[in-house]
Amino acid sequence: MAVVPVELRPGLESIARGAWEGDPAPPMPEDAFRKKSGLGEPLEVRAQFWGSGRPDADAYQFMIVLKDIRPTIWRRIQVPGFYSFWDLHVAIQDAMGWLDCHPHEFRVRDPLTGGEQVLGFPEEGSIEDRKALADYLVPIPDYFGDEPVEYMYDFGDSWLHEVTLEAVLPPSRETEYPVCTAGARACPPEDCGGVSGYAEFLRVIADPTDEEHEEMLHWVGGTFNPEYFDPSAVHFDDSYLRWKSAYLKDEEAYELLMSDREAAAALTPVTHTNRLGDLYFLHSRETDPGSTSHFFSRNEDGQLVHEIPDGYEIHERPDGQVQLRKIPEEIITERERLIVESAVKAAGIEDCIVEVRGDAVTVFLADLDETFVSGLLDQAGLIALESPDGPNVDEMFRAPFGGEPSEILRDLQGYTPHMRFVLDDPVARTFMAERMCFSGAMDWMFVGGPDRIESVANRFCRHLGKDSFYEL
């Protein structure tokens, strides 16, 4: 990595702090109107474009999309307008969840020549061995405009990100920048082999019968949920300390970074975003003298808890409610739960919940789908046309839930237990299969077993969502 000359260090420190005393930040068009975000969704923001080195500099809002992966992994961040490309690099790393242990580069369009310019570590160059400009010397207003910028991380795995400037906004005094305001899905693990390697990684951890399943889960730390991301949990490092640690090999800066991360973790409240996208906060309250209880609430005010109590875990119910519960005794293994989940997905059921309850693996199926919701809206619209004085469809369905069938479905969706596999012999690990009886009082009825979980799951889960289910 580059060693910065001593005479440049005070100037670089000024850049990192947003107080460069040389030329003022270059002006940008006074007015702009962005109609699309990096994901193509409507985003209408009118803002004054003007770079600044002052603490009240405008906030640059970026959309970061990890390319070539579906469903899309993305983040939306806001950073100070005086940031350099190094500062932006650190913010992207922290928001995405990367560990910044590999080289990186930005590929930008030179506004003067129209040619491509590479920004990164000046003596490492790019993957094509082109000389890179030092990214810590280049302010972000110099190159960001209407066109997205490519950001490459890890020249081996080649993680390509598309970085789109969505808007330049007036700074908010209530916001501490940088900030991650939204995003979706977990960042891939480091060194998993790029896009194709990540696809293989997901296949292996989802298949408990794969011979590499246990080894892969152990490698990733025991568990990995590709759908999980909580923007409120993002911690941004001090980009100047990261610069000193990376470029100057400053051990004191590194130690400060580690202590800052520990302090931030201690101050960060325990949160959980459920499958509906609702953010819950863990609270505590005193019930009796010397006795404390804990509960989750969507209210961020109150006595927030910063660490999950020993012996407890976060549990999300099928209806999306979040609770803190004692870690149950492991009667059913995670491998056995995944075997059932794989069998359900093999039957073509995508919207489902497979969870362990006591000595059984229970399968919950979604009550509604988009086709049903679309039909409901169409029928309600016909009623409104026939009865102008009747209920307003927009007031009843579209406005409260967002308007589109998918958004309405997200808020109305419920899940009902359909099948379960009950442990019959803890030593032989055999299970009995039961399905829910929906005629009369709902109750479980025996359909087969005992047998190994692979056998009963594959034999009976294929009937889920089909008429044959009721013939079992």
pLDDT-based confidence at residue 110 (cuts at 50, 70, 90):
confident
Kindly state whether residues 381 and 456 are assigned to the same domain.
no
The whole-number average pLDDT for the span 247-270 is 83
pLDDT at 85 over 70: yes
**Residue linked to tokens 């260090």:** 9
Report the pLDDT value the prediction gives residue 74, as an integer from 0 to 100.
Answer: 95
The whole-number average pLDDT for the span 250-257 is 87
**What is the CA angle 119-75-184, rounded to 5?**
145
Q: CA 472, CA 109: separation in Å to the nearest integer?
A: 64
Q: Determine contact, residues 325/315, Cβ cutoff 8 Å.
A: yes
Q: Is 199 helix (H, G, I), strand (E, B) or coil?
A: helix
Its domain, for residue 313, covers 277-327
Residue 205 lies in a domain: no
Q: Determine contact, residues 46/158, Cβ cutoff 8 Å.
A: no
Cis previous bond, 55, omega within 30: no
Q: Is 13 helix (H, G, I), strand (E, B) or coil?
A: helix
Q: Which of 418, 399, 402 is nearest to 410 (CA)?
A: 402
Q: CA 369, CA 353: separation in Å to the nearest integer?
A: 15
Residue 259 lies in a domain: no
Instruction: Please name every residue paired with 280 in a beta bridge, in sequence order, or none if there are none.
Output: 272
Last residue of a domain, one of 346, 379, 401: 401
Residue 303 lies in a domain: yes
Residue 194 lies in a domain: no
Kindly state whether residues 172 and 115 are assigned to the same domain.
yes
Residue 100 lies in a domain: yes
Q: Is 440 helix (H, G, I), strand (E, B) or coil?
A: coil
Lowest-pLDDT range of 36-40, 266-270, 392-396, 446-450: 36-40
Kindly state whether residues 302 and 342 are assigned to the same domain.
no
Kindly state whether residues 98 and 164 are assigned to the same domain.
yes
The whole-number average pLDDT for the span 138-144 is 89
pLDDT at 296 over 90: yes
Q: CA 280, CA 314: separation in Å to the nearest integer?
A: 11
> Is the Cα torsion angle 115, 116, 122, 126 positive or negative in sign?
negative
Enter the DSSP assignment of 397: I
Lowest-pLDDT range of 102-106, 373-377, 391-395: 391-395
Residues 6+ apart with CB under 8 A from 59: 78, 79, 80, 81, 168, 169, 170, 171, 172, 175, 177
Residue 269 lies in a domain: no
pLDDT-based confidence at residue 286 (cuts at 50, 70, 90):
confident
pLDDT at 45 over 70: no
Kindly state whether residues 338 and 322 are assigned to the same domain.
no
Kindly state whether residues 418 and 322 are assigned to the same domain.
no
pLDDT at 41 over 50: no
pLDDT-based confidence at residue 306 (cuts at 50, 70, 90):
confident
Instruction: Please name every residue paired with 11 in a beta bridge, in sequence order, or none if there are none.
Output: none
Kindly state whether residues 160 and 285 are assigned to the same domain.
no
Domain count, the chain: 4
Lowest-pLDDT range of 76-80, 105-109, 358-362, 384-388: 384-388
Q: CA 299, CA 277: separation in Å to the nearest integer?
A: 15
Residue 96 burial by CB count (10 A; 0-12/13-18/19+): exposed, middle or buried?
buried
Report the pLDDT value the prediction gives residue 316, as an integer from 0 to 100.
Answer: 87
Report the pLDDT value the prediction gives residue 334, as an integer from 0 to 100.
Answer: 87
- CATH code assigned at 131: 3.10.290.30
Report the pLDDT value the prediction gives residue 125, as an integer from 0 to 100.
Answer: 47
Kindly state whether residues 86 and 140 are assigned to the same domain.
yes
Kindly state whether residues 63 and 180 are assigned to the same domain.
yes
Kindly state whether residues 383 and 418 are assigned to the same domain.
no
Q: Which amino acid is at 389?
A: D
Residue 339 lies in a domain: yes
pLDDT at 47 over 50: no
Q: CA 436, CA 418: separation in Å to the nearest integer?
A: 5
Kindly state whether residues 340 and 291 are assigned to the same domain.
no
Q: Which of 185, 209, 208 is nearest to 198 (CA)?
A: 185
Residue 22 lies in a domain: yes
Report the pLDDT value the prediction gives residue 174, as an integer from 0 to 100.
Answer: 84
pLDDT-based confidence at residue 2 (cuts at 50, 70, 90):
very low
Kindly state whether residues 104 and 76 are assigned to the same domain.
yes
What is the distance, to the nearest Å, from the Cα of residue 147 to the centroid of all Cα atoms in its chain? 25
Enter the DSSP assignment of 190: T
**pLDDT per residue as tens digits for the range 317-369:** 888 889 999 988 889 998 899 999 999 999 999 889 999 988 999 999 988 87
